[in-house]
Structure 1
Amino acid sequence: MTEKQTDYGRFVVGEKMELFAEAVKLAVAAKAASTSDQFTWAFTGGSTPQAWYTWAAETGAIPADVMATTHFTVSDERCVPLSSDENNFGNAERKLLAPLGVPVEHRHPWPVAMDPVPAAAAYRETMALINGPQKAYDVCFLGMGDDAHTASFFPGSALLEDDGGELFAAIDTPQKGWRLTITPTGLRTCQLIVVMALGAGKAAALKRVFQGDDSLLDAPSKILETCGDRVVWLVDEAAAAELS
């Protein structure tokens, strides 16, 4: 693997399996360094995280004591039932948390059975009981879409301009409906943010974020510059191909 420091965080380029292992290493190190009474780790949605879940479950890559003592959630969520293949937490639970026997009381899905705004408020209360009101998560995994979105910050999102100082929010996104998500304020409270961007389909978006002239509203992953000192990007050669 190779790496360099950027305004958006540490940028690591490697092969898929190396990057999967590095993601675990980073999270486990963050837990070891944490002084929190409770430790929270938020996963994210998309095909790469699902492949990572399968790999982690099959290889036993995450130490058993970490799985047993960590509180798990997801950084953003679609307003669909937990049983849906489109539910981010549901996928994490089915592919990783349940197979590895994570205690049910350490699994924290967004309350998608509620309407979005009260669901965000209820989730905010749940996480405050675990972390206190000033921290979203200890470790936050994110992805990046080919439109340069991350979490549920899509191009033009009002959250990028004003999130009201909340750590979590419900947002009605154009063409995608309501989403539940960590906010920019919430990201800035996390101890560690790990962004996995793999495959040639991410190359143009990475170019826009790191070297393009796009505004924040046009390339939402640029929000990570506001907390770059705690961000690590895990990127394969195909995704990094357009960067100079």
Structure 2
Amino acid sequence: MTEKQTDYGRLLIGEKMELFAEAVRLAVAQKEASESTNFTWAFTGGSTPQAWYQWAAETDAIPAEVLASTHFTVSDERCVPLNSDESNFGNAERKLLAPKSVPVEHRHPWVVAYEPEKAAEAYRRTMQLLNPPGKAYDVCFLGMGDDAHTASFFPGSELLKSDGSVFFAAVDTPQKGWRLTITPTGLQACGLIVVMTLGAGKAEALKRVLEGDDALLDAPSKILKTCADKVVWLVDEAAASQLS
């Protein structure tokens, strides 16, 4: 892998499998260095995380003691049932948490059966019980869409203007409906943020975020500049192909 420093965090460029392994290494190292009573690790949605779940389950990539002692959740969620293929937590549970026998009491989905605002409030209470004051997650995994969105911050998102200083919120997203998500304030309260960005389809967006002059509302992943000291980008050659 090659490494570069950017205004948006460390950038590691490598092959898919070594990036998958690096994601585990980073999270496990964060846990080993943590003094948290309840270590919290949030996954994310999309095709790359689903491939990572399958790889991690098949290769026993995450040490058994880490799986048994970590509290798992997702950094954003669609308002759909957990058994839906669209559910971020549902996919993590089906592809990794259940196959690796993570204790049920260590699995923390958003309460999608509630109305969005009530779901966000219930989730905030759960995370407050797990984490010390001022902490959102110990480890937060994110992805980036080809429109440069991350978490549920889509272009023009009201959360990029003001998030009410809460760590988690519900947001009504044009054309996509209600989402439940960590907020910009929440990102700043994470211990480590790992952004996995793979494939040629992400190359233009990555260029816009890391080197372009787009406004934040047009390229939401630029929000990561506010917490760059804790951000690591894991990027393959295809995604990095337009970077200077």
TM bucket, shorter chain: over 0.9
Q: Distance in 2 between matches of 1:229 and 1:10?
A: 8
Query: Gapped runs of 5+ residues in structure 1?
Result: none
> In the alignment, which residue of structure 1 is the partner of 2:158?
158
Q: Where does structure 1 differ by over 6 angstroms across 4 or more consecutive aligned residues?
A: none
1:211 to partner: Cα distance: 1.0
| 3-state DSSP of counterpart to 2:84 | coil
> In the alignment, which residue of structure 2 is the partner of 1:107?
107
| 3-state DSSP of counterpart to 1:65 | helix
TM-score for both structures, normalised by structure 2: 0.99
Q: Does 1:75 align with 2:86?
A: no
Q: Does 1:208 align with 2:202?
A: no
> In the alignment, which residue of structure 2 is the partner of 1:26?
26
The 5-angstrom pairing of residues 158-237 of structure 1 reads 158-237=158-237
Deviations 1:143-170 (A, max 9, x none): 0000000000000001001000000000
Query: Cα RMSD over matched residues?
Result: 0.5
Query: Residue type of the partner of 1:19?
Result: L
| 3-state DSSP of counterpart to 2:3 | strand
Deviations 1:197-221 (A, max 9, x none): 0000000000100111100000000
TM-score for both structures, normalised by structure 1: 0.99
Q: Distance in 1 between matches of 2:89 and 2:225?
A: 27
Q: Distance in 1 between matches of 2:135 and 2:116?
A: 21
| 3-state DSSP of counterpart to 1:45 | coil
Query: Residue type of the partner of 1:13?
Result: I
> In the alignment, which residue of structure 2 is the partner of 1:143?
143
Query: Residue type of the partner of 1:131?
Result: N
| 3-state DSSP of counterpart to 1:53 | helix
Query: Residue type of the partner of 1:61?
Result: A
Query: Residue type of the partner of 1:50?
Result: Q
| 3-state DSSP of counterpart to 1:113 | coil
| 3-state DSSP of counterpart to 1:12 | strand
Q: Distance in 1 between matches of 2:212 and 2:139?
A: 28
Query: Residue type of the partner of 2:241?
Result: A
1:4 to partner: Cα distance: 1.1
Q: Distance in 2 between matches of 1:133 and 1:166?
A: 12
Q: Distance in 2 between matches of 1:5 and 1:97?
A: 33
Q: Distance in 1 between matches of 2:54 and 2:228?
A: 29
* Count of aligned residue pairs for this structure pair: 244
Query: Gapped runs of 5+ residues in structure 2?
Result: none
Q: Distance in 2 between matches of 1:70 and 1:28?
A: 10
